Amino acid sequence: MHRLDPTIYGSLGQDGGVRVLTWNVQGRIGEWEKRQLAIESELTSVEPDLVMLQESWVEPNGNTQASLFAKHLGFHSATAIELAGFDTYPQATYWVVNAILSRWPLQIQRAVSLVDENGAPTWRHALAVTVDRPPEHGGAFLAAGTHLEHGVDRSETRSAQMNHLLKEIAELLGDAETRKQTMPAVIAGDFNAVPWSDELRRATGASMPYLPSLVLIDAWEACGNTTRGDTWSTENPLVPRKAVYPNRRLDYITTTAPRLRNHGSFESCFLAGIDRVDGTQPSDHYAVVAEVVL
């Protein structure tokens, strides 16, 4: 397991890079209030510019975990609260959705339920935003967070959801020729799939892409990391010892390609949220952090 040296945090964010963090924060499972403080502490330490959260809680009254984090960090937040299931389950005291935090203002472009292999909407979804980074810092760019279907036997469903996600992103970026002259999108989240799965191989162009002229560049591999980078690991005390299939890399930070030349490459990629904070493990997933040139 790659363990993080906190002294490298300060070396990130240079030369116009955007520090991106993605994290499945496990909703309100277990001692969630203590975990929330631990997550907040880790976010403060890592100092990301852009954060994609999965299983981020929302309440029926409109309160969101992301807004609390944003207030503490001095950030902006966007949450797919409209995709929560309170209409179907009015007795629910909270729901979990995707959320995005950013040091720059955010404009929601799409919050969409992703379809399954039968074309039916699922409760899994994607949240796409424009990050209004000032021109003097490189300008605005598109970012999207997602959380695909869970289960080692659900590859077909994840494939349909990934296909749908990429179609949404392609529409937002423009046609194939336009995308070659456009800032790439940053897409991150819990894909619930390993790098050698059919859905990831197609998404990254290792096999027939879902869409012509649109693939995802995986930060972990692009940076030449030689360790597996498992984000769901039995070294984490919150992962069940007898999980069906433990020790998997399920969480990713990616950029789209083709794209504007000299944009979208990665300078580094590593894991965070590994160790306990004041005795509390932040989540059952580790976070992924990458420095993206944008």
- Domain spans, the chain: 6-293
At residue 229 the predicted structure's pLDDT band, cuts being 50, 70 and 90, is: very high
Query: Considering the chain, what percentage of its residues have pLDDT values greater than 90?
Result: 91
The pLDDT mean for the chain works out to 94
Sheet (strand 215-218) strand order: 106-115, 121-131, 141-147, 186-190, 251-257, 215-218
pLDDT per residue over 96-140, tens digit each? 999 999 999 999 999 999 999 999 999 999 999 999 999 999 999
Q: Is the pLDDT of residue 2 over 50?
A: no
Euclidean distance between CA atoms 221 and 74, whole angstroms: 32
This prediction has a pTM of 0.94
CATH superfamily of 6-293: Endonuclease/exonuclease/phosphatase (3.60.10.10)
Euclidean distance between CA atoms 164 and 117, whole angstroms: 10
